[in-house]
């Protein structure tokens, strides 16, 4: 895990940072005694051992991706200044970096004119998008698919807006007939299209949802917290590709640099196509916005204090790995997706497992073969535990049995939900680890026979 060269690089960069402040008079910082510091840090390291190895390719469970070394280093470097991107007073350099990095994300979606900023994560970013949507369409309903992240229902209740789920097809994508029936009632303010659902990485059909907006007036918010960067991937099927292209015409979009953007946690991003929504944020602050008449990020964000270090990390990552099709960053995403497609294909030919539909992004869901849906569900949990003993860490999900309708798993279509295994193959290294993952899976399967 530790690359000692990177610590030398950090020390060199810190010395460079220091040069900018050398003109100040010397002072003695009141620091803790070094011995005690070492002791506490060692205990902290021991406590942190109680984690799954998220950085390793055998961690193939939840949506967890290690930050890129440049993000870790730039974050650590900025921590020595600890800027606050609420206002230019607290984070002049990192506010500029945030504006540049966010403009690059907006450009990836085809937006030159926009309003946007970083925030704590996908939940916060979606809250802002729906808060703006609720001000534009007050008292109107918010719709999202039944496979959308649970946060949309909860956020709607925070905003006191009515929320309604829209059914999905057998591949976890929003069903257009159900959507249109709901739209016909005339009380829908916003439709949330999820491009990359959390459970299965399914892509709602955005071009068709955009077409419905021509007939029924509503806002379209795209939750691409997990999937957004796949806009750059060249190995998606046509419907997914077209949905990502459709983001250019949506009203707002959320993307999480702390998911696929190689950033440490605490980095979400919300973007609005119409910059004039900035007026909805208008507030007075008697304490903050004095150092410049230029825009302070706190003037267009619901959160006040925010880590400037997150902006420095994102900015540096995008300098090293620009957000462009065919670049190293895009290739990393494509590798994870190839791994998911490969694992899906291998599982299809296995006697012990049956995967659901082919992944649209990099998430594979699959079931162990067993006598009936009850035994299958209980076996999924057992395999989850048995695989962990072989250092293979998977995730478990509760999903509709009909997701296996096209896979020929008899008897499951009737089960409202089944407990299945879920694997997010979001590290490029996963591409080389599919055989090792499969090997451990089949061992775990045979060890869990009744």
Ligand X SMILES: Cc1ncc(COP(=O)(O)O)c(C=O)c1O
For the bound state, the minimum distance from the C-beta of residue 265 to ligand X, rounded and expressed in Å, comes to 8
Task: Kindly state the smallest distance separating residue 409's Cβ from ligand X, in Å.
Answer: 26
Nearer to ligand X, 151 or 448 (CB): 151
Minimum distance, C-beta of residue 373 to ligand X, in the bound complex (Å): 26
**DSSP letters spanning 379-416:** HHHHHHHHHHHTT-B-EEEEEEGGGGGGGT-TTTTT-S
Residue 123 interacting with ligand X (CB under 6 A): yes
Residue 255: C-alpha distances to residues 102, 249, 332 (Å): 10, 16, 17
Q: Does 268 bind ligand X (CB under 6 A)?
A: yes
What is the DSSP-derived secondary structure letter of residue 110? T
Number of residues that bind ligand X (CB under 6 A): 14
Q: Which of 198, 243, 301, 380 binds ligand X (CB under 6 A)?
A: 198
Q: Which of 163, 226, 403, 404 binds ligand X (CB under 6 A)?
A: 226
Q: Give the integer Cα–Cα distance in Å for 215 and 247.
A: 18
Stretch of 17-25, 121-129, 324-332, 355-363 contacting ligand X, by CB under 6 A? 121-129
**Which token pair is 247?**
């983001």
CA distance 116 to 109: 13
Stretch that binds ligand X, among 117-125, 185-193, 269-277, 382-390 (CB under 6 A): 117-125
- Of 194 and 301, which CB lies nearer to ligand X in the complex structure? 194
At its nearest, how many Å lie between ligand X and the CB of residue 61?
13
Nearest C-alpha neighbor of 57 from the set 438, 448, 445, 437: 437
What's the CA dihedral at 196, 202, 206, 207 to 10 degrees? Answer: 130
Of the ranges 135-143, 223-231, 302-310, 404-412, which one interacts with ligand X (CB under 6 A)?
A: 223-231
Q: Minimum CB separation from ligand X for residue 112, in Å?
A: 26
Q: Which of 91, 121, 307, 332 binds ligand X (CB under 6 A)?
A: 121
Nearer to ligand X, 202 or 376 (CB): 202
C-alpha 391: how far from chain center: 25
Dist. CA 443–CA 392, nearest whole Å:
11
Q: Is 193 in the site for ligand X (CB under 6 A)?
A: no
- Give Cβ neighbours of residue 96 (< 8 Å, ≥ 6 apart): none
128 binds ligand X (CB under 6 A): no
Least separation in angstroms between CB 54 and ligand X: 14
Nearer to ligand X, 123 or 376 (CB): 123
With respect to ligand X, which residue has the nearer C-beta, 153 or 405?
Answer: 153
Q: Which of 58, 59, 61, 63 binds ligand X (CB under 6 A)?
A: 63
Q: Which of 66, 67, 83, 122 binds ligand X (CB under 6 A)?
A: 122
Separation between Cα atoms, residue 38 and residue 366, nearest integer Å:
45
Local structure of residue 216 (DSSP, 8 states): S
CB of 156 to ligand X, least distance (A): 14
Strand pairing partners for 354? 367
| Per-residue burial over 170-207, b = 16 or more CB atoms within 10 Å of its CB, e = otherwise | bbbbbbbebbeebbeeeebbbbbbbbbbbbbbbbbbbe
Least Cβ distance, residue 227 to ligand X (angstroms): 7
Q: Where does 289-408 have alpha helices with state H?
A: 308-320, 328-348, 373-389
Say whether residue 194 binds ligand X (CB under 6 A): yes
Q: Should residue 256 be labelled a site residue for ligand X when binding is judged by CB under 6 A? A: yes
Binding site for ligand X (CB under 6 A): 63, 121-123, 126, 149, 151, 194, 198, 223, 225-226, 256, 268
């Amino acid at each position: 895990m530790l690359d000692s060269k990177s610590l030398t690089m950090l020390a060199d960069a810190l010395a460079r940072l220091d040069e900018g402040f050398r003109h100040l008079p010397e002072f003695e910082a009141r620091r803790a005694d070094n011995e005690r510091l070492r002791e506490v840090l060692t205990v902290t390291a021991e406590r942190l051992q109680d984690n799954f190895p998220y950085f390793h390719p055998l961690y193939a469970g939840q949506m967890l991706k290690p930050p890129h070394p440049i993000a870790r280093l730039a974050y650590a470097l900025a921590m020595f200044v600890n800027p606050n991107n609420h206002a230019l007073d607290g984070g002049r350099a990192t506010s500029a970096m945030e504006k540049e990095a966010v403009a690059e994300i907006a450009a990836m979606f085809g937006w030159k004119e926009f309003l946007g900023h970083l925030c704590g994560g996908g939940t916060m970013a979606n809250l802002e998008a729906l808060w703006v949507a609720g001000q534009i369409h007050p008292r109107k309903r918010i719709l999202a698919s039944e496979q959308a992240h649970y946060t949309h229902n909860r956020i709607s209740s925070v905003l006191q807006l009515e929320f309604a789920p829209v059914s999905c097809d057998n591949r976890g994508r929003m069903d257009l007939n159900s959507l249109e029936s709901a739209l016909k009632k005339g009380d829908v303010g916003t439709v949330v299209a999820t491009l990359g659902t959390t459970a299965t990485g399914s892509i709602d059909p955005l071009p068709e949802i955009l077409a419905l907006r021509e007939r029924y007036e509503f806002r379209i918010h795209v939750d691409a917290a997990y999937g957004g960067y796949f806009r750059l991937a060249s190995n998606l099927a046509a419907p997914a590709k077209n949905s990502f292209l459709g983001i250019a015409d949506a009203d707002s979009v959320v993307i999480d640099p702390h998911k696929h953007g190689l950033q440490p946690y605490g980095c979400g991003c919300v973007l609005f196509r119409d910059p004039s929504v900035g007026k909805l944020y208008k507030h007075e602050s008697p304490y903050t916005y004095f150092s410049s008449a230029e825009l302070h990020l706190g003037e267009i964000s619901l959160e006040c204090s925010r880590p400037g270090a997150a902006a420095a990390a994102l900015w540096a990552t995008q300098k090293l790995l620009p957000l462009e099709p065919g670049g190293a960053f895009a290739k990393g995403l494509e590798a994870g997706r190839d791994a998911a497609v490969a694992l899906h294909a291998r599982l299809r030919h296995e006697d012990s497992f049956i995967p659901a539909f082919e992944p649209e992004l990099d998430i594979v869901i699959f079931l162990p073969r067993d006598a009936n849906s009850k035994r299958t569900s209980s076996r999924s949990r057992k395999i989850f535990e048995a695989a962990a003993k072989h250092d293979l860490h998977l995730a478990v999900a509760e999903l509709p049995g009909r997701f296996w309708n096209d896979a020929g798993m008899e008897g499951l279509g009737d089960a409202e939900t089944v407990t299945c295994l879920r694997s997010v193959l979001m590290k490029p290294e996963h591409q080389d680890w599919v055989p090792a993952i499969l090997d451990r899976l089949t061992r775990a399967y045979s060890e869990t026979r009744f």
